[in-house]
């Protein structure tokens, strides 16, 4: 059983620095195997991935996806006994930082598969038979999480997708429409949330099913397009009389929300990693430009207004990377409840990274607002600052909107003091469902 984590203890008025003392290893250094993997991934991204091509064509090329599979980027945390690399959660977060620097869609591709797709829920809640059946497939096959519906976002209890059991065959028949399913357009496997009607045979309730994407009755009706994140294979998936074996049900009937929330907690650590990478890239670009651009006889970086912006970007990049490092190591220990840490990290990172991107655009002025393609076409180096601003905007909406997370965190603070920490540690304070049930995509 886990105990309250560092973030939860803060709300109880206790600065538990001893929780951080348990973090083993040299800061910023992983073991040799993990460092070698990250080195291969970094080299692949530098030599084989053209971020401008992804942005221009609105898709990740097939050879890039296959190359990521060959490296093992889709199975970083899958245990070795099931064919994966069996590396740490912190290594996974570092990998997201590497691929996101090339293009944001790459990070979403990997995170939607490994954090909220099949590998995490099956590893945590699946039977041994289910682990043997599905985890080896997730090494190369792509998965997606189908939760959100056209009328259901923050309130999963209003879900309309149904899974009707057939006691004679031991199967379930699924019907419904899922919206904003990241990876849904190209997925081989879907993790679908559906409501099982209560009956004499069982309690029913929200339940998780593994659905083969090529099953009869599964159709991708639309590929969504957004303000940012071009290349994201996100869409609308319809399930019409889709028959699913009972063996594909993950957990008990009615346990779906707990499983989904556990997956989203992992996802909320993924987003700070993406934000940290964006902040570090922004700092590098801002420093280069502030040193090269001369106005009124001196580099703009020496002028107070711009220097203040540079300092803000540098401090934020440092804070976000430290947050990823600390939260990732604590989560890997598995001894403390780090759900509150994940909520705090997601809220802080998504808000601050957006401000960093905005300041980068401001520092570069008209060149910050101009697209990289346009600048390159007229002979200048193209810098996708405005693209970063568009890509990061969704971080304040998905995996728990800013408003929902603030409500949950504030409620948890009050509840923790009233109940002596019990509700906070259990994650069942008022507003928890609203914050945790937010859209899983795009």
Model confidence at 398, in pLDDT bands (50, 70, 90)?
A: confident
Query: 101-139, pLDDT tens digit by residue?
Result: 999 999 999 999 998 899 999 999 999 999 999 999 999
The pLDDT assigned to 278 comes to: 98
Least confident of 2-16, 36-50, 80-94, 282-296: 2-16
- In 3D space, the residue among 36, 124, 123 whose CA is nearest the CA of residue 84 turns out to be 123
Q: Tokens for 383, please give them.
A: 């810098």
Asked if the model's pLDDT at residue 430 lies above 70, the reply is no
- Alpha-carbon distance of 45 to 34, in angstroms, equals 17
Mean pLDDT of 77-94: 96
Asked if the model's pLDDT at residue 230 lies above 70, the reply is yes
151 vs 23, more confident: 151
The pLDDT assigned to 419 comes to: 59
Tell me the CATH number of domain 143-255, given options 2.40.110.10, 1.10.1200.10, 3.50.30.60, 3.30.499.10.
Answer: 2.40.110.10
Least confident of 192-201, 220-229, 317-326, 377-386: 192-201
Q: Could you write out the three-class secondary structure of 287-354?
A: HHHHHHCEECCEEHHHCHHHHHHHHHHHHHHHHHHHHHHHHHHHHHHCCEECHHHHHHHHHHHHHHHH
Least confident of 5-19, 25-39, 349-363, 384-398: 5-19
Q: Tokens for 379, please give them.
A: 């002979």
The pLDDT assigned to 2 comes to: 62
Asked if the model's pLDDT at residue 431 lies above 60, the reply is no
441 vs 284, more confident: 284
Asked if the model's pLDDT at residue 197 lies above 80, the reply is yes
User: What is the rounded average pLDDT for all residues in the chain?
Assistant: 89
Do the beta carbons of residue 356 and residue 385 sit within 8 Å? no
Do the beta carbons of residue 281 and residue 139 sit within 8 Å? no
Model confidence at 416, in pLDDT bands (50, 70, 90)?
A: low
Mean pLDDT of 177-183: 97
Asked if the model's pLDDT at residue 409 lies above 90, the reply is no
Asked if the model's pLDDT at residue 341 lies above 80, the reply is yes
The pLDDT assigned to 23 comes to: 66
What region does 96 belong to: left with phi over 0, alpha with psi -120 to 50, or beta? alpha
Q: Tokens for 90, please give them.
A: 């912190």
Asked if the model's pLDDT at residue 421 lies above 80, the reply is no
- In 3D space, the residue among 105, 277, 75, 259 whose CA is nearest the CA of residue 182 turns out to be 105
Asked if the model's pLDDT at residue 355 lies above 90, the reply is yes
The pLDDT assigned to 114 comes to: 93
- Alpha-carbon distance of 93 to 325, in angstroms, equals 9
Burial class, 432, CB count within 10 angstroms (exposed 0-12 / middle 13-18 / buried 19+): buried
Report percent pLDDT > 90 for the chain. 70
Do the beta carbons of residue 116 and residue 181 sit within 8 Å? no
421 vs 173, more confident: 173
Q: Tokens for 402, please give them.
A: 């800013």
Do the beta carbons of residue 103 and residue 51 sit within 8 Å? yes
For residue 56, which phi and psi values (nearest 5 degrees)?
Answer: -70, -40
155 vs 190, more confident: 190
In CATH terms, is domain 258-436 a member of 4.10.80.400?
no
Asked if the model's pLDDT at residue 30 lies above 90, the reply is no
292 vs 5, more confident: 292
176 vs 155, more confident: 176
Model confidence at 438, in pLDDT bands (50, 70, 90)?
A: very low
> How many CB atoms within 10 Å of residue 336?
22
For residue 191, the cross-strand partners are: 145, 210
Q: Find out whether the peptide bond into 442 is cis, omega within 30 degrees of 0.
A: yes
- In 3D space, the residue among 5, 19, 114 whose CA is nearest the CA of residue 344 turns out to be 5
Asked if the model's pLDDT at residue 273 lies above 60, the reply is yes
Mean pLDDT of 273-287: 97
Model confidence at 58, in pLDDT bands (50, 70, 90)?
A: very high
The pLDDT assigned to 276 comes to: 97
Asked if the model's pLDDT at residue 1 lies above 90, the reply is no
Q: Could you write out the three-class secondary structure of the chain?
A: CCEECHHHHHHCCCCCHHHHHCCCCCCCCCCHHHHHHHHHHHHHHHHHCCHHHHHHHCECCHHHHHHHHHHCCCCCCCCHHHCCCCCCHHHHHHHHHHHHHHCHHHHHHHHHHHCCCCHHHHHHHCCHHHHHHHCCHHHCCCEEEECCECCECCCHHHCCCEEEEECCCCEEEEEEEEEEEECCCCCCEEEEEEEECCECCECCEEEEEEEECCCCCEEEEEECCCCCCCECCEEEEEEEEEEEEHHHEECCCCCHHHHHHHHHHHHHHHHHHHHHHHHHHHHHHHHHHHHHCEECCEEHHHCHHHHHHHHHHHHHHHHHHHHHHHHHHHHHHCCEECHHHHHHHHHHHHHHHHHHHHHHHHHHCHHHHCCHHHHHHCCCCCCCHHHHHHHHHHHHCCCCCHHHHHHHHHHHHHHHHHHCCHHHHHCCCCCHHHHHCCCCCC
Model confidence at 439, in pLDDT bands (50, 70, 90)?
A: very low
Asked if the model's pLDDT at residue 148 lies above 50, the reply is yes
- Listed by start position, the domains of the chain span 3-139, 143-255, 258-436
Report percent pLDDT > 70 for the chain. 88
CATH architecture of 3-139: Orthogonal Bundle (1.10)
For residue 195, which phi and psi values (nearest 5 degrees)?
Answer: -100, 125
């Amino acid at each position: 059983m886990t105990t309250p984590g560092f973030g939860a203890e803060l709300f109880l008025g206790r600065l538990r620095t001893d929780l951080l003392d348990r973090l083993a290893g040299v800061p910023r250094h992983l073991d040799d195997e993990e460092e070698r993997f990250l080195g291969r991934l970094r080299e692949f991204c530098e030599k084989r991935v053209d971020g401008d091509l992804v942005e221009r064509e609105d898709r990740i090329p097939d050879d890039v996806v296959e190359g990521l599979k060959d490296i093992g980027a889709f199975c970083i945390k899958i245990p070795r006994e099931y064919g994966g690399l069996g590396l740490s959660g912190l290594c996974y977060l570092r990998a997201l930082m590497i691929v996101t620097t090339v293009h944001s869609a790459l990070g979403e591709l990997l995170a939607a598969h490994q954090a909220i797709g099949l590998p995490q829920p099956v590893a945590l809640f699946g039977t041994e038979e289910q682990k043997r059946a599905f985890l080896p497939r997730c090494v190369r096959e792509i998965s997606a999480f189908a939760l959100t519906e056209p009328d259901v976002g923050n309130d999963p209890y209003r879900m309309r997708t149904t899974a009707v059991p057939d006691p004679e065959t031991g199967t379930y028949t699924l019907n419904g429409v899922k919206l904003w399913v990241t990876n849904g357009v190209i997925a081989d496997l879907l993790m679908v949330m559906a409501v099982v009607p209560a009956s004499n045979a069982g309690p029913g309730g929200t339940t998780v099913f593994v659905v083969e994407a090529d099953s009869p009755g599964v159709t991708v009706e639309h590929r969504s397009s957004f303000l940012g994140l071009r290349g994201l294979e996100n869409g609308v998936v319809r399930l019409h009389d889709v028959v699913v074996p009972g063996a594909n049900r993950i957990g008990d009937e009615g346990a779906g929300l707990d499983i989904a929330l556990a997956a989203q907690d992992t996802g909320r650590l993924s987003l700070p990693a993406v934000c940290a990478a964006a902040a570090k890239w922004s700092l590098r670009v801002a420093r280069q430009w502030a040193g090269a651009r001369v106005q009124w006889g001196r580099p703009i970086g020496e002028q107070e207004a711009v220097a203040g912006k540079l300092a803000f970007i540098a401090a934020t990049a440092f804070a976000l990377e430290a947050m990823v490092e600390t939260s990732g190591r604590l989560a890997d220990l598995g001894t403390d409840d780090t759900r509150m840490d994940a909520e705090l990290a997601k809220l802080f990172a998504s808000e601050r990274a957006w401000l960093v991107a905005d300041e980068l655009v401001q520092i570069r002025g008209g060149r910050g607002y101009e697209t990289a393609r346009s600048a390159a076409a007229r002979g200048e180096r193209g810098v996708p600052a405005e693209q970063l601003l568009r890509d990061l905007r969704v971080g304040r909406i998905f995996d728990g909107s800013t408003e929902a997370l603030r409500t949950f965190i504030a409620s948890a603070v009050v509840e923790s003091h009233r109940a002596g920490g019990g509700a906070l540690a259990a994650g069942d304070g008022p507003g928890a469902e609203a914050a945790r049930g937010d859209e899983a995509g795009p």
